Chains A and B, each alone.
Chain A
């Protein structure tokens, strides 16, 4: 408890090493991480969080680098949490996002932290959100979250940030792919990056028509911005889109509503995680499970019936079963 306070004090005083070590404590998990996050939580909520997501190779890191340069020119301090996939075979990872972020180098106003996904199946893990909390408490004005490359289904990201930027490229696929992509539904800003390549105009037009369909329900017209990092085009338009989304959220309590929704989702997932972990540690359930599985394999009961019986048996035993662990 005392060590958390010291670390937190140093972190709030602006000591980079303290922020960095705090992130490692959280990465390592366990009771130390929980207690630090508990102390940290009241210090969070000030930073603006922007998530960049999209397929691998869409140019997210390079685009973030340009946004960093613009935001620094406005005098904002920045924290970046960049997630890359862990190898499912070795558990190791190569985290290469820093290479593209040259504007971060040699500037104390930019703090970049790389994170391996460690088996998380979403583009941004819950851990990325917790590291963003540290950046927030560390006093960064802006926290940029870079997801690893994602496919069509990535909706959790909307709970991770105030503004979600989805980055696509002309190679992303035809308009049907675009229509069915869950990614579009979470976008506050759509970017067609590498717009110097053929097909950019057509993709942008498709995206605009999809975005227009959604405008009425949200009161926000999702802008479609074409950018090219190599030709330094469209970065000002992206910056303007970020600013106008920020202004939009600042009206009518929208930001608070969004933050509440994000926290609700976060707590919900943590509850599920806990219940699930407790569930399979229950020895009576395990014994019952093995017995009933035999009946399922032998055709004497169905999977659904087995599940219903197991859940009912557990519920009946619930009042005194969940307190004696840990």
Chain B
């Protein structure tokens, strides 16, 4: 009997050891991301297009990405962080106080800041789709003279002499100095996790809480009238289309997709924007020309222009004010109030402790 007990104890200890023991020859794996902060494909979403294999999720890298996202160290005047134009409270669009966001020295940009949610699913970036990789996308605002106006080399110099970033990067990437690859991969670790899939509509799509009344009627009408382009659960087909806006363009002519392809057939085409959080991410369209959502719905198909998309032909796309109201009612269900307050996506002052990221010189021109 006693030997039996001993055997049971030995077996128990071995089991424990088997679980706990780290085999010396093995590479120690980073801890898997915690479910509440990790990247989860929502059950009703398609497969993401971001190449996670080239940048496996890692909590330390994610935290570094979050630090960088909220840190104006990326800009020339230490005033503009990614979050200045991509505010969590606005589902990572701008506050909507200006037609165009303002960069260093208060300079306005020339295109409307999009809400950067669900970027892991996006095959291209920017209104003209000129960028095809999320990691490399971050270079665009850093280099843009009216956004962060900073050189990559200078950003890396600043990060490498920073008492906090250097050791943190070393811990996460196991390299002696911070290079552009580490910085861009860290930022992507954060941006891929900005997922918007917990709106009222998502409860409907996942079958937990169906829409009713005007919202449901709005959805049915939306599917009939809008979903050819604003398709699927991401509410975009990621194609480039001209909806006739250039006929009343108030700003310097923007050739849109033609700037990328050089094709006249792509003139003034812009990417179909996702409509997730559309009710809280005005102003609307690539140039932010319309600030009211109902107006934005109506604007489709109202103007004619060469190269206009047949989907918004004024004979096929004609909405009564009642229909606009219904579609509007549905669109409000796409607002994801949960992600707006998701603490994992918010700035963490503790990330930077014992340092502060408040600029020494007040940045009066920001908003």
A, B: real partners: no
Interfacial residues, chain B to chain A (CB-CB below 8 A) = none
